[in-house]
Structure 1
Amino acid sequence: MADFRGRVVTNDELQQFRQQLARYEDHQLGIFYKYFRDDLHYIISSLDTQSVLRELNFRHCVSVEHYQAIKKQCGASVFAEMLVEDIQASGRDAVLGLWESLFALQNDHPHPNLLGVLDELSQTGHCLERNVMLDKCGPDLHPDLKACRLQHREDLLQKTQYLVEHRAPGLTTESQSFSITERYLDLIVVSSQHFRSRPQHELIVTGGIHEHYLQRAQSNLERISPNRLFRWCHRKRCVPQAVLVSGVPGVGKTTLMQKFVYDWANGNLYQRFAFVFSFKFRDLSNKEELSLAQMIVDEYPYLHSQLERILQNPKHLLFIFDGLDESKDQIDLKQNQLCTNPRSMQTVSAIVSSLVRQSLLPGCSVLITSRPTRLATVETSVFNRISEIMGFFPKEREKYFLHFFRDYTMGEKAFHYVRENGMLYTFCYIPSYCWIICTVLSMCFRAQRANSAQTVEFLPKTVTQLYASFISNILANHCQAGTIDKNFLISIGRMAEYGVNSRILSFTKEDLDGFSVDASSHLATSFVMESGQPPHVSYSFLHLTIQEFMAALGYYLDYSPEGLQKALEEAKSTEDGRGEIFLRFISGLSDSSTRSLLKPYVGDLSAPAAKHVISFLQKSIPNLNSQNPDNRKVLNVFACLTESRNKVLVSSSIGLNRQLDFRDFYLAPLDCTVLAFILESCRETELLDLGACFIQTEGLERISAALHTVTDVRLANNNLRDEDVQCIYSILTHPQCRIQRLSLRNNGLTELSCLPLALAVSENTSLRDLDLSKNKLAGEDFYKLLEVLSAPMCRIERLALQEAKLTPQYAASLLCLTNNPNLTHLNISSNFFGDAGYPHIKEFILIHPSLKEIRVGLNDFSEATEGNLQQLQTRRPDVAIIL
């Protein structure tokens, strides 16, 4: 992220910035403040609170104590919103003070959103008011064009005002639609250059980095709301005309585009564009050649009479092309054959490339969406801004469940179940995945209500069980009308596998015929959706993961040892990870209880196929004791074992490896869920090193259920925060806790962590070694932690408090540690005790009865004091005093 490194802001630059702002009148400052309000909320909530308040206090804008209390009580988001509103209400001087503070903060906090806002204000300040008003009111148009635009807006509003919640036939009577303003939920969109080579399945890798992206202040990634897509781009130093938005299947690309068009048509977004034209690559795929003018008129026939006039002002036009990955033809954005005439006959690839590269309608804007994997083969340097949709914020996940069930109690119950199941919850950043799981849980709950005397027999615990439940409910509906055609399921499974291996999401009628899939059958419409108009019709599965599940299911419906072995080997060897979900599904179906979900509709699934898969998994388990095991391959196998729910296999195969070392390897929350299952199956792991694995809140929660089974747990360098210590508390106070050594070294813990840590240590009976080094523990609550560590009954033998921000005032309190008869090793190096703290440290060394080693170096001691400490060695030869 070299583009976003900080720079040294000089006093001259600050003065120049101040003078620039001072030239604006109050109403202009008000316009800018409103324009940047959402950005300011996000930036202030992302930056270090103390730094922001320090700068504002220096300029006499706020009371530090007041807003510190707000932050502590209400959190970063509420704090930021209140601060921004209060400053605006305080008048011109406070507003100028905020801008100056932010300008100064870029020295130490070069957050890309901060740099982008300051850059936009500086670079476009002289014309920013005009641009804001243009986005609000739009350009002046000829009366005929105004009437045409009004008709166009009405047409787009009609097409975009409702979100359709598709349901597979048989699950409900019909699809339902809802107002987009009521049901649309915010998605995380960030700047990104992260496609190209993806060694993992895109759903898995995106789910993996999702939690990382949520750590906004640390991730140093630019968050881009829809109203920023065509605003000043700090990275490229321009107002972008070509924008790319990527995202995994089902994450909400099309819905985001629908909301974008709706907001434009409603007059709430980017009125600088007089006309917005939205197309789907899937619908364009069947057109060999056409002109841009024909493309527009085919989609919007009412524009025919005014099209010539519309195209005369390209800078007022926006073209949206949704679903690059659904185009049958390769779109070559670097091709040499570009066109300049909107009426010349060209391929879709030539038209799109010519628009993006500004040879056709120079000055126009273009917005394209695509799956990340398709972009590995596309020249993306032609885009001014590249963004990636990361899916739902955590709060939006819960809102989705509440919206789906329309019953608060039921929605809360469903969300709580999923929240407690890490395997299911991890993928809930994807809206379409939320839809599948809500669909399944709603059926489980309905079954429970229908038979209230019994509890729900089966709620999905793994992703495979979720999809098996989903498919079984589809098949249950068809069983009422007659028997299920097993051959159809085998055929559609083979077609699904062909699509997975060939990266095909959209199938033609020829594809279906080639695999003997009758598109007209009612059962077919339960699995695939039809789009387009005859004769140009295409078919796609309800979701990519359903396609991957059906591919796996086919091998249990029609077992062939040779075919299954070949499929397993090919899926395992794929370099881009496209076989990973398939492998997890085929592993999950080896579990008899999972297969039993489908038995009423298709009979017994192949037990020999299950044994074949288990044998394959057993042979695939890597040697964890090898010198450099491939951690990604290890976790992929672990994930398959987790889906199989085969604890006996895990215990017999992995249980022999008493040490698991993932140090310096990024672990996603899903990986942590997988590791929890492995640890629960083994039960006697001696060492789990998760140092520098970027374990965050969600990841820690996922693995916490099993950490108590490990003897030595290392969580150093993970940027854990005070709120995560409650999870640590639950681990240490587990009745069967085996942890003897715990390292929380170099995390983001402060004095707020001291009290829960004190309670945990006092209740735990196994812990002997505790490393709290390189955390900012100094504060009033630190004394409470020392009190527990000093108790005669405390079992801690090794205690590390290196670089804990301890000053001379804490030296006297350390003496109480002499009451702990078990303490043998103490590390208090790299603090700030200085010569003032020496007398207490000296006394501690001389009187502690069981001390064997103390590290006291780098504590601002004078040479004389260091000499005195060395001389103490003669008086306590049994204690190693390490400077």
Structure 2
Amino acid sequence: SVLLPNEEIILISFFCIHLESFTTCQQTLKSNMKKKFQSVFEGITKSGNQSFLNEIYTEQIETMSWKPERAETAIRHGDIFIPSPEREEPIKTVMTTGMAGIGKTVLTQKFTLDWAEDQTNQDIQFTFPFTFRELNLLKDEQFSLVELVHHFFSETKGILKFEELKVVFIFDGLDESRFPLDFYNNEILMDVTKSTSVDVLLTNLISGKLLPKAHLWITTRPAAANKIPAEFIGMMTEIRGFTDPQKDMYFTKRFKSKKQASLVISHVKKSRSLHIMCHIPIFCWITAKVVEDMLNKKDGEELPKTLTEMYIHFLVVQAKLKVIKYDGGAETDSNWSPENQKMIKSLGKLAFDQLQKRNLIFYESDLAECGIDIRAASTYSGVFTQIFREERGLYQIKLFCFVHLSVQEFLAALHVHLTFIKSGVNLLVKGKMKSKEIEKRNHESSETEMYKSAVDMALESPDGHLDLFLRFLLGLSLETNKRRLRGFVAQTEESLAINKDTAQYIKEKLNHHGIEKSINLFHCLSELNDQSLVEEIQQSLCTGSLSAHQLSPAQWSALHYILLSSDKGLEIFDLKKYCASEEQSYVSTDGVSFKKVPNNNNTITLNCLCLFRLSGCNLSEKSCEALSSFISLTTSSLKDLDLSNNDLTDSGVKLLCEGLMSPNCELEILRLSGCLITEEGCAALASALTVSSSHLKELDLSYNNPGEAGMKSLEAILKNPSFKRDSLR
């Protein structure tokens, strides 16, 4: 139709007003986002130690896997929605997993801040960061999607047509969600203006029925990832925390004195438990707080060597700060005043009760169930700010949480421990945490029985949510640790016999559980100062007397534990020394371990390998998939890989090529002699090894059948200046 002049002017005027409103809303939102996210608190929210996010942010290794059959690759937080040639279709929904304290929330804050500061993703018109801890407060209320956005982001009230915009919704902390999230039985909703429950809004938004063009980013701990069906997730990413160099960098920045920083770095590397835990940024902070306090003392006390020792010292530091700062007193041999004890015991009960319910965020009603009134809670969060904190949610409603999940687990273990010492009551045989194994046994109110109960519960947990709790509980049983809590924990008779019985019970369990469970049991033995199994395997490694035919499942687990946690790493690993050649074997899909099929306990982890011999180990195509992932990791230092005499075939070689093309791959020698490779596999190798990033200097393809076409393909490899003509066999 032909527009009349007046009508045209009206439409142009309307368009300009709409554009001006849109621009104003966007700029106001960005301005507020910059104010909100430009500064962060490290570990705590009330101590005043506020830092600029851009100054302290350290890029962590984040890996993605957008198709199960493809090797994982590294990805930056700002690129998760940017299309690449490898992706067959745009990614709508991304889920990022990572353990508590690994930096998921900071990652989303950095993404939002970069967008607000016009640094990245400027094709995105609006970014809306939500947290489940705040959405939980609206569980019983009704909203339309438009109303929900306006509710949290009042700057956008001039925007009604979100269907026409490119927007990103961030939902941080799925593991804290208290919504049922029933994706298959909730009503279907496609109207952004129709009011319904927040639960229905979330399931329709995530499934793509509501606002199908919007991008979503969801963060969660791994245990809660299955709350959303895999069919609704376009790409999975994982934050793996600090690498070893980044750990060193953290402590170097944290301590002004290079001597102190060097001391801490050296000490952490000597302890398997501490060194492994320090890949979590917030654990580095806890370690720094404890070590800083201890270095200022003149009593020469040794630095903590186990996880339990570290957290006991952390608790002591907080109690001491409370005495000095709030009570006007001086540091004494015992900082466990009656008021301090009451606070810690109350927090311990809260920690244990909420751990049973798997809650990380607590509301006033949760505190009331533990007999804590809101005034007392505010006092706790004001005094023990580095243990327990208070936040302001929607409508200024108070939210409470522990500074980190491990702190909650430690206090929960302390509560169970104190309750037993005081009353003889084993809390683990009551209520929801009771294990099936416990129900089969006749109970004795003994300390040993309590520890066995805890071991059984942790082993029965499918996602390992009680692993740290168990380690802390066992660590608290040592007399040395009880003495560290003198004045708070009553002294008991020497418990060497109890510790010995518990350690023996753990060793028996090693023979009946998979490797993931076994690794935690070794950490438990470490907390009990029992290193006998590990020392036995270490001695065998040193003397060269280790044989796969002689190893029990427990000893296989010990070998895996040593290789996983050794700070020295392993330069050469010849798998045939540990695996009988006639047994079917494969490299696991995490790209880091080797598994043997028969009992599923025989797992060996590769750390700092330079030479990896897998010749004649019955590897398959699946092995190539995992190896491809491994050699493409930024942490891989593998230079020489021998895969000779395995039936990899062309399909396996193609999978391996994906890793060879990674810019992170530093492989220099690759042996593929006798691997059933034809012209198709040779063509794939030629394509992969002619890329400029390839470091390969030697390739052995003898005893394969490339044919004339394959030979012509291989000639292209020689164009790589790194190659010498006699380096291609």
- The aligned counterpart of 1:636 is 520
The correspondence for 1:396, drawn from 246, 254, 263, is 246
In 2, Cα distance between the equivalents of 1:575 and 1:186? 31
Amino acid at match of 1:549: F
- The aligned counterpart of 1:620 is 506
Q: C-alpha offsets along residues 559-610 of structure 1, whole Å, 9 cap, x if unaligned?
A: 22543524454334323322211111111122222332222x5143555888
**What is the CA distance between 1:159 and its match in structure 2?**
0.9
Contact 2:362 2:399 in 1 (8 A): yes
In 1, Cα distance between the equivalents of 2:75 and 2:49? 30
In 2, Cα distance between the equivalents of 1:334 and 1:385? 21
- The aligned counterpart of 1:444 is 294
- The aligned counterpart of 1:571 is 458
**What is the CA distance between 1:252 and its match in structure 2?**
0.7
Amino acid at match of 2:320: A
Contact 2:519 2:557 in 1 (8 A): no
The correspondence for 1:188, drawn from 61, 78, 101, is 61
In 1, Cα distance between the equivalents of 2:339 and 2:500? 28
- The aligned counterpart of 2:30 is 153
**What is the CA distance between 1:669 and its match in structure 2?**
8.0
Structure whose CA Rg is larger = 1
Amino acid at match of 1:586: L
Contact 1:529 1:542 in 2 (8 A): yes
After superposition, residues 283-298 of structure 1 pair within 5 angstroms as: 283-287=134-138, 288-289=140-141, 290-298=143-151
In 2, Cα distance between the equivalents of 1:569 and 1:722? 35
In 1, Cα distance between the equivalents of 2:561 and 2:18? 53
**What is the CA distance between 1:438 and its match in structure 2?**
1.6
1:307 and 2:159 correspond: yes
Describe the SS at the equivalent of 1:529: strand
The correspondence for 2:322, drawn from 467, 478, 502, is 478
Contact 1:156 1:262 in 2 (8 A): yes
In 1, Cα distance between the equivalents of 2:556 and 2:82? 36
Change (3 A) 1:152 1:672: same
In 2, Cα distance between the equivalents of 1:369 and 1:636? 25
- The aligned counterpart of 2:72 is 221
In 1, Cα distance between the equivalents of 2:534 and 2:605? 27
* Identity %, equivalent residues: 23
In 2, Cα distance between the equivalents of 1:192 and 1:832? 33
The correspondence for 1:176, drawn from 28, 37, 49, is 49
The correspondence for 2:199, drawn from 342, 349, 356, is 349
**What is the CA distance between 1:391 and its match in structure 2?**
1.6
After superposition, residues 228-247 of structure 1 pair within 5 angstroms as: 228-232=79-83, 237-247=88-98
The correspondence for 1:586, drawn from 457, 473, 496, is 473
- The aligned counterpart of 1:90 is none
Describe the SS at the equivalent of 1:388: strand
Contact 1:189 1:388 in 2 (8 A): yes
**What is the CA distance between 1:261 and its match in structure 2?**
0.4
Change (3 A) 1:220 1:669: farther
In 2, Cα distance between the equivalents of 1:671 and 1:425? 13
In 1, Cα distance between the equivalents of 2:236 and 2:611? 33
The correspondence for 2:378, drawn from 511, 520, 533, is 520
The correspondence for 1:503, drawn from 358, 362, 365, is 358
Describe the SS at the equivalent of 1:307: coil
**What is the CA distance between 1:668 and its match in structure 2?**
10
In 1, Cα distance between the equivalents of 2:530 and 2:155? 61
Amino acid at match of 1:563: L
- The aligned counterpart of 1:596 is 483
Change (3 A) 1:718 1:616: closer
After superposition, residues 44-443 of structure 1 pair within 5 angstroms as: 142-167=19-44, 174-192=47-65, 220-232=71-83, 237-287=88-138, 288-289=140-141, 290-304=143-157, 306-308=158-160, 311-443=161-293
In 1, Cα distance between the equivalents of 2:86 and 2:387? 43
After superposition, residues 3-18 of structure 1 pair within 5 angstroms as: none
Describe the SS at the equivalent of 2:217: strand
Change (3 A) 1:693 1:668: farther
Q: C-alpha offsets along residues 423-474 of structure 1, whole Å, 9 cap, x if unaligned?
A: 2111222111221112212222222xxx3xx6x3120111111111111111
The correspondence for 1:490, drawn from 337, 340, 345, is 345
Contact 1:662 1:689 in 2 (8 A): no
In 1, Cα distance between the equivalents of 2:482 and 2:245? 34
1:530 and 2:374 correspond: no
Describe the SS at the equivalent of 1:538: strand
After superposition, residues 779-858 of structure 1 pair within 5 angstroms as: none
Contact 2:318 2:384 in 1 (8 A): no
The correspondence for 1:458, drawn from 280, 302, 308, is 302
Contact 1:587 1:644 in 2 (8 A): yes
Q: C-alpha offsets along residues 753-808 of structure 1, whole Å, 9 cap, x if unaligned?
A: xxxxxxxxxxxxxxxxxxx99599xxxxxxxxxxxxxxxxxxxxxxxxxx999xxx
Which of the pair is proportionally richer in helix?
1
Choose between structure 1 and 2 for higher RCO, CA contacts under 8 A separated by at least 6 residues.
2
**What is the CA distance between 1:156 and its match in structure 2?**
0.7
Amino acid at match of 1:279: F
Contact 1:322 1:370 in 2 (8 A): yes
**What is the CA distance between 1:497 and its match in structure 2?**
2.1
Change (3 A) 1:543 1:312: closer
TM-score by length of 2: 0.65
Computed over aligned residues only, the root mean square deviation of the Cα atoms, in angstroms, reads: 4.5
Q: Number of residue pairs matched?
A: 543
Describe the SS at the equivalent of 2:241: strand
Describe the SS at the equivalent of 1:187: coil
Contact 1:589 1:610 in 2 (8 A): no
Q: Which segments of 5 or more consecutive residues in structure 1 lack a partner in the other structure?
A: 1-139, 196-217, 678-686, 701-714, 726-742, 748-771, 777-802, 806-829, 834-883
Contact 2:564 2:606 in 1 (8 A): no
**What is the CA distance between 1:398 and its match in structure 2?**
2.2
In 1, Cα distance between the equivalents of 2:219 and 2:513? 37
Describe the SS at the equivalent of 2:389: strand
**What is the CA distance between 1:689 and its match in structure 2?**
4.6
Describe the SS at the equivalent of 1:602: coil
Describe the SS at the equivalent of 1:381: helix
Describe the SS at the equivalent of 2:213: coil
1:548 and 2:399 correspond: no
In 2, Cα distance between the equivalents of 1:320 and 1:716? 37
Change (3 A) 1:632 1:275: closer
Describe the SS at the equivalent of 1:391: coil
Q: C-alpha offsets along residues 816-862 of structure 1, whole Å, 9 cap, x if unaligned?
A: xxxxxxxxxxxxxx9999xxxxxxxxxxxxxxxxxxxxxxxxxxxxx
In 2, Cα distance between the equivalents of 1:193 and 1:610? 51
In 1, Cα distance between the equivalents of 2:497 and 2:343? 25
**What is the CA distance between 1:717 and its match in structure 2?**
8.5
Change (3 A) 1:584 1:654: farther
Describe the SS at the equivalent of 2:50: strand
**What is the CA distance between 1:378 and its match in structure 2?**
2.4
In 2, Cα distance between the equivalents of 1:583 and 1:439? 24
Amino acid at match of 1:328: R
Change (3 A) 1:631 1:151: closer
Contact 1:192 1:386 in 2 (8 A): yes
**What is the CA distance between 1:650 and its match in structure 2?**
8.9
Contact 1:501 1:579 in 2 (8 A): no
Contact 1:166 1:176 in 2 (8 A): no
In 1, Cα distance between the equivalents of 2:398 and 2:516? 40
